[in-house]
């Protein structure tokens, strides 16, 4: 413990140190029964600590903005995984790294050690702005108009710990693509950004309201061109609208896509404009020229070598190596089965990268790594070194590179296996369809449940975990089949189509063979898979796979999920991806006091917009707490204001002309010192009045 305290004191960032101390304190209070379990869950999620399906241990999600990770950081994460977790680093589709089986009590010291190499856990989970993702090729993409990395990094910094996005109704995802090829999948994000240049000015095409999950939506175009200096103000305004109008009670309806669907794009944009007066900045210049230049390795003398397997090397060159926009340099992709890299292998991998490339890499959205700035004369040496580690498999991002979430290995929501079957899919393709490693059109993706963490909602051939019953009512692990999804260009895409068919999980490889054979037989020359699916139609594929869904006759192995040795047992629990809603009156009022304290701190630091937003949040929490005492549970912040007017103002219990207008002065005023002081004072008085009201109410009850 003394070592932990010493390391904490050595951190250069007092804000981070305070955050870690606060986590340690909250864990102690939770252990002592002084913090409600649901409240504590939301606190730890915001700090990247996610409950596993295995009791007593946590998954820790490490937030790596736009997937950028240095070899030094990778070694640090590997060491952390050895000391605190299961010695495995899992790369996610959001360019994070997750480690598993971590003791809750050790998370503060784990976080402290990560921060020594500027790695954070903050807001990797919970109802926050999640990791900002971007094309892994950003900065080296020959087709890019400019490097989006500085913009992604600035958005990450600006909204980290920002009060406007700490307790939203649900998570919020932002992606930057490097070009119109949209390799970051802008079209499935709450906010997707694609570079544009107009009249010599940098900017972005902006798409909004996309998302996968059980109910996928394609993003809609908000702007064909938004000037770069409006990126931060616009994003903040959108977050304010989402925070205020987004659903909070019905978790499955709480994403921005549902709000957009309900009120429409014109109304959403009107509300965004309404918020801009209150944003911290009306224009925000991204200083992209100060963004650190990439580390470019010096040329090193090397001798010509002969690779052991020339055919494999050529396949690797064809499928895993790309030319950078920088003349004379190559990017090299590393394909990782289901995104897993042991900690020992990670350190050896880092050594290889340091020897032959830039020490800065990117994690890709399909769970691999991109090595950058490789000189042509060292390609064979790099390949040979990677091959010795088992990291030179050809076919990156091809049919044979299957994307999968952790599923039932660790996630509470997992229904059936997604990882072991993915490895089986890759084996089938490698052994039976080896030439498909050259096909980068067909994407196979699988999730353990309908929530699409494995991105099955945009797959050419997708599956998600489910169950199916035989004629005797016994449960088998199963897969739901989806087909025809695609990334197009310029922020457009196609959502995968559910066939309305379940098949036992053990028949998944057979289904894959049928689909690939059918494509080989029936596709037109050069026809993309999504066009092929559309041309033949759902009924064709339903008929093709329907026999596999027949469980009239089953074999014993079909009752055993992939990677298991016993008959399938359905195990699901409440998921933690978005946290939970806390309806305890005392907890909400305690939160109000805490937020007013934060408001005062921000005021003292002259962070007036932050102070105002903390005061606003205290208004909302205080009003909601009192509404709960009369069994009214508003589902949005706006409804909270309206319901308080109905139940407490219109009835004469509180003296306001219009409570909603009184609170929503937040977006009618510039964030000045004068307004911040007066608004905080009003919020504080309202909380004191509510305390007094509850006290008199309790006294009346006790007398009666």
DSSP secondary structure string, 285-309?
A: ---GGGSPPPP-PPP--------S-
pLDDT tens readout for residues 275-305: 999 999 999 999 988 899 999 999 999 999 9
Q: How far apart are CA 294 and CA 292, in angstroms?
A: 6
Distance, in Å, from the CA atom of 219 to the CA atom of 204, rounded to the nearest integer, reads 15
CA 336/CA 344 separation, integer angstroms: 15
Beta bridge partner(s), residue 60: 49, 99
Which has the closest alpha carbon to 247: 173, 191, 171?
171
Task: Supply the pLDDT for residue 603.
Answer: 97
- 678 Cβ contact list (under 8 Å, min separation 6): none
Closest CA to 162 of 284, 30, 67, 312: 284
Alpha-carbon span 102 to 104, nearest angstrom: 6
Instruction: Identify which of 93, 97, 92, 49 has the alpha carbon closest to the alpha carbon of residue 77.
Output: 97
Q: Is there a contact between 476 and 467 (Cβ–Cβ < 8 Å)?
A: yes
Q: pLDDT tens, 497-512? A: 999 999 999 999 999 9
H or E segment at 310?
helix 310-320
- Contact between 583 and 628 under an 8 Å Cβ cutoff? The reply is yes
Could you tell me the residue ranges of all domains in the chain? Answer: 2-115, 141-290, 310-388, 403-559, 585-703
Q: How far apart are CA 607 and CA 594, in angstroms?
A: 17
Domain spanning 310-388: which CATH class is it, in words? Answer: alpha beta
- CA angle 666–619–581, rounded 5-degree value: 115
Per-residue pLDDT, 13:
87
What is the CATH class of 2-115? Answer: alpha beta
**What residues contact 680, with CB distance under 8 A and at least 6 apart?**
596, 599, 600, 603, 611, 612, 614, 615
Strand order in the sheet with 444-447: 403-404, 444-447, 461-469, 475-483, 497-504
Distance of CA 18 to the CA centre of its chain: 25
DSSP strands (E only) in 209-291: 220-227
Two tokens at 700?
């009346």
In the 8-state DSSP scheme, what is residue 161?
Answer: T
Q: Nearest 5°: phi and psi at 46?
A: -65, -20
125, 128, 134, 147: which is closest to 66 by C-alpha? 134
Within 372-418, residue ranges assigned H as helices are 379-388
Of the candidate CATH numbers 3.30.413.10, 3.30.2130.10, 3.40.50.150, 3.30.360.10, the domain formed by 141-290 belongs to: 3.30.413.10
CATH of domain 403-559: 3.30.413.10
- Averages of pLDDT over runs of 10 residues in the chain (704 residues) are 71 90 93 85 91 92 98 98 97 97 96 95 95 98 98 98 95 98 97 98 98 94 98 98 94 94 98 96 93 92 93 98 98 96 98 98 98 98 98 97 91 90 97 96 96 94 95 94 96 95 97 98 96 97 97 95 89 52 68 94 96 97 94 95 97 95 96 98 96 69 33
Fold classification of 585-703 is 1.20.120
Confidence at residue 575, expressed as pLDDT on a 0 to 100 scale: 52
Contacts of 612 (CB under 8 A, 6+ apart): 278, 599, 666, 671, 675, 676, 679, 680
Q: Tokens standing for 103?
A: 């003791």
Give the Cα-Cα-Cα angle 542, 456, 247 (nearest 5 degrees). Answer: 115
Distances (CA, A) of 275 to 172, 203, 219, 238, 619: 18, 21, 21, 8, 17
Instruction: Give dist(CA 401, CA 409) in Å, integer.
Output: 20
**How far apart, in Å, are the Cα atoms of 657 and each of 443, 649, 664?**
58, 8, 13
In this chain, the answer to whether the domains covering 141-290 and 403-559 adopt an identical fold is yes
In whole angstroms, what is the distance from residue 407 CA to residue 505 CA? 13
Any residues with CB less than 8 A from the CB of 214 and at least 6 apart, and which? 252, 450, 451, 452
> What does each C-alpha distance from 612 to 231, 242, 625, 660 come to in angstroms?
22, 17, 20, 16
Name which of 642, 640, 641, 599 is nearest 618 in CA terms.
Answer: 599
The predicted pLDDT at position 38 comes to 78
In this prediction, residue 413 carries a pLDDT of 85
In 3D space, the residue among 683, 691, 662 whose CA is nearest the CA of residue 611 turns out to be 683
Maximum C-alpha span of the chain: 95
Q: From residue 250, how far is each of 192, 498, 578, 581 by CA, in Å?
A: 25, 24, 11, 9
User: CA 336 to CA 69: how far, in whole Å?
Assistant: 16
Residues 6+ apart with CB under 8 A from 154: 232, 286
């Amino acid at each position: 413990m003394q070592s932990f305290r010493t390391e904490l004191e050595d951190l250069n960032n007092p804000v981070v140190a305070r955050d870690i101390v606060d986590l340690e304190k909250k864990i102690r209070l939770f252990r002592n029964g002084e913090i409600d379990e649901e409240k504590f869950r939301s606190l730890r999620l915001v700090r990247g600590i996610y409950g596993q399906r295995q009791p007593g241990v946590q998954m820790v999600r490490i937030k790596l903005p736009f997937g950028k990770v240095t070899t030094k950081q990778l070694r640090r994460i590997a060491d952390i995984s050895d000391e605190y977790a299961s010695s495995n680093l899992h790369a996610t589709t959001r360019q994070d790294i997750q480690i598993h089986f971590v003791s809750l009590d050790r998370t503060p010291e784990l976080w402290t050690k990560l921060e020594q190499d500027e790695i954070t856990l903050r807001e990797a989970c919970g109802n926050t702005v999640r990791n900002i993702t971007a094309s892994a090729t950003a900065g080296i993409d020959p087709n890019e108009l400019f490097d989006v990395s500085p913009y992604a990094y600035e958005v990450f910094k600006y909204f980290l710990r920002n009060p406007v996005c700490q307790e939203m109704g649900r998570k919020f995802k932002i992606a930057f693509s490097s070009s119109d090829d949209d390799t970051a999948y802008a079209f499935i994000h709450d906010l997707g950004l694609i570079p544009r240049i107009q009249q010599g000015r940098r900017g972005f095409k902006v798409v909004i309201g996309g998302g996968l999950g059980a109910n996928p939506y394609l993003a809609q175009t908000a702007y064909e061109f938004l000037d770069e200096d409006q990126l931060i103000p616009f994003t903040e305004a959108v977050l304010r609208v989402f925070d205020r109008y987004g659903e909070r009670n019905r978790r499955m309806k709480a994403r921005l896509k549902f709000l957009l669907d309900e009120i429409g794009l014109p109304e959403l944009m009107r509300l965004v404009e309404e918020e801009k007066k209150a944003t911290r900045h009306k224009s925000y210049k991204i200083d992209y020229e100060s963004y650190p230049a990439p580390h470019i390795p010096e040329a090193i003398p090397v001798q010509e070598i002969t690779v052991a397997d020339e055919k494999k090397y050529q396949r690797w060159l064809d499928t895993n190596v790309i030319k950078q926009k920088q003349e004379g340099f190559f990017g090299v992709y590393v394909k990782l089965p289901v995104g897993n890299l042991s900690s020992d292998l990670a350190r050896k991998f880092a050594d290889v990268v340091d020897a032959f490339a830039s020490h800065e890499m990117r994690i890709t959205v399909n769970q691999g790594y991109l090595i950058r700035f490789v000189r042509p004369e060292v390609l064979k040496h790099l390949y040979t070194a990677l091959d010795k580690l088992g990291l030179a498999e050809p076919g990156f991002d091809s049919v044979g590179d299957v994307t999968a979430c952790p599923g039932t290995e660790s996630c509470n929501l997992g229904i059936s296996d997604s990882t072991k079957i993915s490895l089986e899919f890759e084996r089938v393709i490698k052994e039976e369809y080896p030439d498909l490693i050259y096909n980068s059109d067909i994407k196979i993706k699988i999730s353990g449940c309908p929530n699409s963490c494995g991105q099955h909602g945009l797959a050419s051939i997708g599956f998600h975990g489910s169950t199916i019953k035989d004629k005797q009512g016994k449960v088998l692990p199963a897969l739901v089949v989806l087909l025809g999804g695609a990334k197009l260009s310029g922020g457009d895409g196609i959502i995968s189509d559910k066939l309305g068919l379940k098949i036992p999980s053990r028949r998944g490889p057979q289904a894959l063979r049928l689909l690939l054979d059918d494509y080989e037989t029936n596709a037109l020359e050069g026809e993309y898979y999504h066009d092929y699916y559309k041309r033949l139609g759902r009924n064709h594929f339903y008929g093709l796979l329907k026999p596999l869904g027949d469980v009239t006759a089953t074999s014993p192995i079909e009752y055993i999920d992939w990677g298991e040795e016993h008959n399938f047992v359905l195990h699901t629990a409440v998921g933690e991806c978005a946290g939970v809603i806390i309806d305890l009156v005392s907890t909400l009022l305690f939160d109000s006091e805490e937020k007013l304290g934060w408001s005062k701190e921000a005021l003292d630091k002259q962070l007036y917009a932050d102070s105002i937003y903390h005061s606003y949040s205290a208004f909302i929490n205080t009003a909601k707490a009192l509404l709960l005492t009369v069994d009214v549970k508003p589902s949005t912040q706006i409804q909270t204001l309206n319901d308080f007017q109905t139940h407490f103002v219109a009835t004469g219990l509180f003296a306001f002309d219009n409570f909603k207008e009184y609170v929503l002065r937040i977006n009618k005023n510039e964030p000045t010192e004068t307004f911040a002081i007066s608004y905080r004072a009003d919020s504080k008085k309202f909380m004191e009045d509510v305390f007094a009201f509850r006290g008199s109410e309790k006294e009346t009850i006790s007398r009666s």
